[in-house]
Structure 1
Amino acid sequence: MRALLIIDYSIDFVDDQGALSAGKPAQALEHYLAQTAQEFIDQGDYVVFANDKHEENDAYHPETKLFPLHNISGSPGREFYGEVNDVYQENKGKENVYWTDKRRYSAFAGTELDIRLRERGITELWITGVVTDICVLHTAVDAYNLNYDIVIPEAGVASFNEDGHEWALSHFEDTLGAKVIRK
């Protein structure tokens, strides 16, 4: 069994006006992510929409010292971007569609994600979204440590740091043994 994870494909991370936008590289993923999500859903595979969630006045979260405020609870910036949001809205009541809030880089940290995947017998994770060398990377490392088979479609990940993006793609293959599907 397999699952598609879409990491942080929110307005704040993708839109030009987003608080921490990866810009055009992230926007270029829109159709691929929406189409792939719908295909997974239609085939009965599990699709996880994992989205960063922060509180406006959270002085204790370590990211407040590293990045501008982003993905604030209740803000429009937390909504998924474009066609991906459309796919989520059209399918959110289905048994094989799951939204999880995350407070750290990895979609596994402090969430029920691993339990939900194991309950469904899922062994292969297709990890997509933004940012390749931050949240996608940390999710992939945790997936590796939890013994999942990892697939990273290059057409499904982007970063605001091209060098970091390329490094992460190599790291997925060379260090985590992931299958990277090149464009």
Structure 2
Amino acid sequence: MMEHIFKFVLTLNSLLLSLMVFLVKEEIVINSLHPYISNLPNIITYILYFLVILIFTWLSMQLTNTLDTDEIDEGSISVIEPANDAFLPSYLGYFFVALSVPNIEVFFYVFTIICVFIFYSRISYFNPIFFLFGFNFYYIVNNKNIKVLLITRRQLKEPNNVVFNNLRRINNYTFMDMERQVP
């Protein structure tokens, strides 16, 4: 059950930047809410939007402690491929959609459909905010020729000596490693 909640949180987090782009495009700002803050520059609202996204991403990272653990033994990885660049074009597509929708109703309709597709996909949890927290995305292939997505702070290059003792399983194809980079 917790895996589904976490998957839903990651899916929403992956789309929050698109919501921010839409809100900025539409110039929806907090200074119109109350006369006392009417003189605030719009940039304050945009910074608050970004801070909310950072907080939600950080909270989702904290939720990983509730997920099941798994491990990858030394010598069991045959291939490591960076996956950051593979996700970026799709993510930029979300931005272009957010810039082109005409109103909030269409935005929520379109992004609800996208959210459903992301939720039911096997490995679409790409969130560029993870980069700010030091994470990278890698495809790893094990000796049984099974390819999975690994979200980790480590810099991976050589598959021979890589060991993960405390992975968090998002699903059977996506794992998150919360350990820091080992010098």
* TM-score bracket, shorter-length normalisation: under 0.3
Report the TM-score when normalising by structure 2. 0.25
Report the TM-score when normalising by structure 1. 0.25
Larger relative CO (CA 8 A, sep 6+): 1 or 2? 2
Larger radius of gyration: 2
Give the number of the structure whose residues are more often helix, by fraction. Answer: 2
